[in-house]
Amino acid sequence: METGDKIYVAGDRGLVGSAITRRLAAAGYTNLIGRSRHALDLTDQQAVRAFFEAERPDHVFMCAAKVGGIRANNSYPADFIHLNQQIQTNVIDAAWRSGVRKFLFMGSSCIYPRDCPQPIKEEYLLTGPLEVTNEGYAIAKIAGLKTCMALRQQYGFDAISVLPANLYGPGDNFDLDHAHVIPALIRRFHTAKENGDRHVTVWGSGTARREFLFVDDLADASIFVMNHYTGAQHLNVGSGKDLPIADLARLIAEIVGFEGEIVQDPSMPDGTPRKRLDSSRLRDLGWTPSVDLRTGLTRTYAWFLDNRTRLREGRGHALSHG
């Protein structure tokens, strides 16, 4: 990418899209375009096509998606499979038709089979059943990744895909009905501290292991691969380290300053037992993460404290979906 190229970040108000936009601007890219969901409905095919025909971006970062944690995925499976397929199909198709030079599709590590060997290699995709608690979202994301591969094979469309580990960071969604585990725990421990509660209950047994990636690291990796990688093979993007959810909860409680008891609720789902990515392909290209978990969590909690008034008023929901 040249610094003057026109770059469209789809979902630039969300967690990932806003981080990529910040990183692009900091790196000197000056011709960035984005649209809020109110200005451009990505489920509207004609509107999306008209946008691409008018703007003609050179490069696209496809970050827009309907996302959520276990509770949201369990509650709204039809929304997760239907809306995500609508959004990504419209954007991928319009980008190809309008002559976009390079396209990055943002996948997710949750699209791998539930019981993958660890660490998870890229070739393990579609080798076993999915985790049922996020099956709709995973199927939609697999369809998007495969669409990019098919357009590359048939038409030479330069579309690449990255699959990040569990993401967190400034701009995350702290709505407890939709949040992923880190923002949900930050909000619950903070509220408990404010209320003087003696304990906080955490879903699941606490034994499930997760790998977490700070969103600014993903932004750096995304820009890196746009500049240094062209290939049909999707790339894993991870920190290389995982930990049990129970240990994560204790670390977040320490950072927030909650001193009460943490109680696990094993009657609630754990999700996939373990999910750690093998990111050696990306490391071999020359990229490595730079933000460790404690530092990232501290920065995320600081962002939460600075924005909690807006979150209480209900405006935080739009910050993560983009």
Structure confidence by residue, pLDDT tens digits, 185-234: 999 999 999 999 999 999 999 999 999 999 999 999 999 999 999 999 99
Q: Which residues pair with 162 in a beta bridge?
A: 106, 235
Q: Which residues contact 125 (CB under 8 A, 6 or more apart)?
A: 111, 112, 142, 145, 234
User: Is 17 labelled a binding residue?
Assistant: yes
For 143-176, the DSSP string reads: HHHHHHHHHHHHH---EEEEEE-EEE-TT----T
Q: What average pLDDT does the structure give for the chain? A: 94
CA pair distance 119, 189, nearest whole angstrom: 30
- Segments of the chain with pLDDT less than 70: 312-322
Given this model, what pLDDT does residue 178 score?
79
Q: Beta 235-237 vs 261-265: how paired, if at all? A: unpaired
User: Is 62 labelled a binding residue?
Assistant: no
How far is the CA of 75 from the CAs of 57, 65, 70, 134, in angstroms? 36, 17, 8, 10
Residue among 8, 29, 137, 229 flagged as catalytic: 137
User: Is 166 labelled a binding residue?
Assistant: yes
Given this model, what pLDDT does residue 313 score?
46
Whether 137 is a known active-site residue: answer yes
User: Is 270 labelled a binding residue?
Assistant: yes
**Whether pTM exceeds 0.75:** yes
User: Is 196 labelled a binding residue?
Assistant: no
Given this model, what pLDDT does residue 179 score?
83
User: Is 210 labelled a binding residue?
Assistant: yes
Burial classification of residue 134, based on how many CB atoms lie within 10 Å of its CB (0-12 exposed, 13-18 middle, 19 or more buried): buried
Given this model, what pLDDT does residue 312 score?
54
Domains, the chain: 7-321 (3.40.50.720)
Given this model, what pLDDT does residue 95 score?
98
User: Is 188 labelled a binding residue?
Assistant: yes
| 57-84: pLDDT as tens digits | 999 999 999 988 888 888 899 999 999 9
